Amino acid sequence: MSASSERPTPFVATHESFAIGADGTRLYVRERAESDIGLTTVLCDGICCDGYIWKYLWDDLAPLSRLCHWNYRGHGRSAPPRDPNRIVARALPGLIQFTESHRGLMRGIWSRIPLEAALKVALSTGEVDKNRLRPEDFMPYLRHVSLMDLLLFLRMLRAAGEYTAEEFLSTIDVPTLVVAGKADTFTPYSLAEKLCRALPKGELFTVPGGTHVAPLEQRELVGRWLIRFLTERIEAAS
């Protein structure tokens, strides 16, 4: 089985709902199930993302698995966190302090950066692959970034920079696929290698020339590997 951009995607209704988080925040959830499949795949975004990266995998994985995707607090259609102080972090202190003191100014600057200019910067600096990425696939991310609360983003960014799950990796005794772009500047490839070595049943899939948005740049390749992993490693083990 392989992912193909030529394959027509059957219409399948997506069920949308809201769940209430432990802190009382209203969280957006969308689900999709084409049949009574026992496997469920939960799609979780990165910071400042609201699902744009799953554009193609949302269709490619549907025949194999029930899909569930949700928005983090303050992202997409989810409400802002009830208690912003729960997002604890300790990096970027100067910028965060300035933003807290000049919220109106920083929000104005943040929201008025032209999306087309931001796209040109990403393409020209090599942060994304200009030869493979369709601009229309990346624009939803830039649009969401411009609408997101800047202070929330900075707090989450420094929290992510401080947090590590290394001590738990050796306890994840299930098949785990690590997908890594060789040219990813946000999450360096060396970290993916380190992560895979620490996982008892880890498997590393390298996307040649792939950046942080490899699932959009090389949909067919990433889709094939994920489908293979789900059929050979996950379904076979269940």
How many residues are there in the chain? Answer: 238
What's 76's domain CATH number? 3.40.50.1820
What is the identity of the amino acid at 233?
Answer: R
| Number of structural domains the chain divides into | 3
CA-closest candidate to residue 27, choices 68, 69, 82, 70: 70
Q: Say yes or no: 34 and 63 in one domain.
A: yes
Domain final residue pick, 142, 163, 184: 163
Q: Say yes or no: 170 and 228 in one domain.
A: yes
Domain final residue pick, 28, 47, 82: 82
> Would you give per-residue pLDDT tens digits along the chain (238 residues)?
445 444 444 556 799 999 999 889 999 999 999 867 788 999 999 888 999 999 999 999 999 999 999 999 989 999 988 876 665 443 345 545 545 554 454 444 445 567 887 888 888 888 899 999 999 999 999 898 888 887 777 777 777 777 889 999 999 999 999 999 999 998 899 999 999 999 999 999 999 999 999 999 999 999 999 999 999 987 666 6
| Domain hosting residue 217, numbered range | 165-238
Is residue 217 a contact partner of residue 179, using CB atoms and an 8 Å limit?
A: no
Q: Say yes or no: 158 and 185 in one domain.
A: no
